[in-house]
Amino acid sequence: MNMVRCHIKKILFFEDCYCQIEILPQENYDYCMEQAKISQAFDEAHFQGLGYSDVLARQPAPHSICMLKLSEHALNTCLQSAQMIKQEVYTEYDNFSEPCEDMFAYASDSNNIILFFEKEDDIISTIWLSLDVKSAEDFHMAKTMLSAISSLGGLIIADWGWRFIELIRNEYKIAEYLNKRLKVFTAL
């Protein structure tokens, strides 16, 4: 008798990464561009050689992804087409690990490309990414994933650390961005 085994992997979530690369409704584009400029000016004003003298607390975007009323089923369908694997999410501190009850993830085989999400009553309330593009395969997976989720509606990617804000359907700009990440992560 043939049996297929489905393995669910475990992803570790670190709160410092929470929503650092967000997927948001495109209605936030101008707001996010302005926030990126504010962040750049703040960083320049507060940089002190090896660190910063203050921290900028970013406010939530005015238009939540909830407004799109995306179901987990819709997200699941598009991510399966991108060959992403659903995984359990855990948080870890000291030597203790516990599951994140309201957080879910889809990841590439390498676990370098991860889409995290939270939901409320089967409606997606946040989507954010981890994009450690370390190989051509990671580049392809990230590009395929972003292309797949662009089918869910008008969405932007807001990478606050890199100050990159773009419509995810702009494949040319997304490819440039992923190439830059590939160069940085392969140089580490």
Q: Can you list the alpha helix ranges (DSSP code H) found in 91-153? A: 136-150
Closest by Cα among 89, 32, 38 to 62? 32
The number of helix segments (H) and strand segments (E) in the chain equals: 4, 9
C-alpha distance across the termini of the chain, in Å: 47
Q: Is the per-residue pLDDT at 10 higher than 80? A: no
Say how many C-beta atoms besides its own lie within 10 A of residue 135's C-beta: 14
Average pLDDT rounded to a whole number, residues 65-82: 92
- Position 155 scores a pLDDT of 98
Structure tokens at 131: 């994009």
For residue range 82-97, list pLDDT tens digits in order: 888 888 888 877 788 8
Entry pTM: 0.89
The residue behind tokens 């659903």 is 86
Amino acid at 164: F
In sign, the C-alpha dihedral spanning 184, 147, 113, 38 is positive
For residue range 128-186, list pLDDT tens digits in order: 999 999 999 999 999 999 999 999 999 999 999 999 999 999 999 999 999 999 999 99
- Position 132 scores a pLDDT of 94
For residue range 119-137, list pLDDT tens digits in order: 988 899 999 999 999 999 9
- Position 149 scores a pLDDT of 95
DSSP-assigned letter for residue 135:
S
